Amino acid sequence: MRTLINKNDTDYTGNTKTTNTKIHTRRNTMDFETLKQSSSNFDKLTKAIEANLNPEDKQNNKSKYQDDRFWKPELDKTGNGFAVIRFLPAPTGEDLPWQRVWSHAFQDVGGWYIENSLTTLGHKDPVSEENTRLWNTGLDSDKEIARKRKRKLSYYSNILVVSDPKHPENEGKVFLYKFGKKIFDKITEAMQPAFEDEAAINPFDFWKGANFKLKIRKVDGYWNYDKSEFESVSALAENDDKIKSVWSTQHALKPFLAADNFKTYEELKEKLHRVLSGARKTESVEAADLPPQPNGSAKSMNDSPAASDDDDTMSYFSKLAEDE
């Protein structure tokens, strides 16, 4: 009987074959060189920024447990927070350095409804349909209900934690970072400055990007990022070996749009009925993850007037809990 030997296994001489390993290493090197030469595709990202300014498109959120891949800033006793982070380029095999996810989060007689919206994937969603119906009645009372149930937007990106005074053990490590519209607006302003004397930068570029000084204040119970800003343009590290080690530890972003992160239309419709009718209690607010950011306005309640575009997901969740 002849024994088949995997090219990465030890052969009959006792030597380990490394053909596949060499090919894999060579491909990684080629991918990294391509990344460096492309400068993170600034033009492509600029177009994506522009597309993002039109909120009528496709858009996830799931985590009812602590996910160690994520980094979250922590406030001090005065309600302020500070950290320095670096947004990273798109992971290998992906086009954009962020993913957008829409969700709904509200409470009614049957408990909490905190679910990803199927509009993230460009599909119809029962909450959006109900909100549109309420909005189109023209009644102020119905519009107010619809506002409270509107979609909220989150972004997911890879970051390098440069400085984390509250948790210095995080410094130098790559994490996923979930953020809302206010911080994405800062990114947009950096890539598309409003004034002619300001140079556009790509915050996601390893070599020509910039660190982001995250400054958080508690204002009326919400996390406020107005004082946050990008530093001057600089390389992430002094040599490419360090940059390459960061690049190789980034997390995939496409899985946030995977089907298993979304319930079906029928499941969401049934849950919405339970929450609105009180047929059965849903999960408590503590058991659910925080909803993403609100969004702008239009005829459909997917795009109804936002009550507060500035709400951080964490502070928004805290406020919901305090209102119980």
Provide DSSP, 102-162: EEEEEEETTEEEEEE-GGGGT---HHHHHHHHHHTT--HHHHHHHHHT--EEEEEEEEEEE
Rounded Cα–Cα distance for residues 72 and 204 (Å): 19
Residues with Cβ within 8 Å of 18's Cβ and at least 6 positions away in sequence, in order, are 8
Q: How many CA atoms lie within 13 A of 20 on its CB side?
A: 7
Decide if 313 contacts 291 (C-beta within 8 A).
yes
Rounded Cα–Cα distance for residues 98 and 52 (Å): 11
Q: Amino acid identity of 149?
A: R
Residues with Cβ within 8 Å of 238's Cβ and at least 6 positions away in sequence, in order, are none
Rounded Cα–Cα distance for residues 309 and 299 (Å): 18
**CATH superfamily name and code, 38-322:** Replication Fork Single-Stranded Dna Binding Protein (3.90.198.10)
pTM here?
0.70
Residues facing 159 on adjacent strands: 87, 175
Q: Is 155 exposed, middle or buried (0-12, 13-18, 19+ CB in 10 A)?
A: buried
Rounded Cα–Cα distance for residues 271 and 130 (Å): 13
pLDDT at 51: 64
Rounded Cα–Cα distance for residues 283 and 128 (Å): 21
pLDDT at 74: 93
pLDDT at 61: 43
Rounded Cα–Cα distance for residues 225 and 83 (Å): 12
∠200-204-206 over CA atoms, to 5°?
A: 105
Per-residue pLDDT tens listing for the chain (324 residues) = 444 444 444 443 444 444 455 545 555 655 777 777 666 577 777 777 766 655 444 344 444 467 899 999 999 988 899 999 999 999 999 999 999 999 999 999 999 999 999 999 999 999 999 999 999 999 999 999 999 999 999 999 999 999 999 999 999 999 999 999 999 999 999 999 999 999 999 999 999 999 999 999 988 888 999 999 999 999 999 999 999 999 999 999 999 999 999 999 999 999 999 999 987 544 444 444 433 333 333 344 444 333 344 344 434 443 443 444
Rounded Cα–Cα distance for residues 1 and 10 (Å): 18
Give CA separation, 277 vs 36, 263, 271, 273, in Å.
55, 20, 10, 6
- Boundaries of every domain in the chain: 38-322
Rounded Cα–Cα distance for residues 117 and 96 (Å): 21
Question: DSSP character for 53?
Answer: T
pLDDT at 52: 64
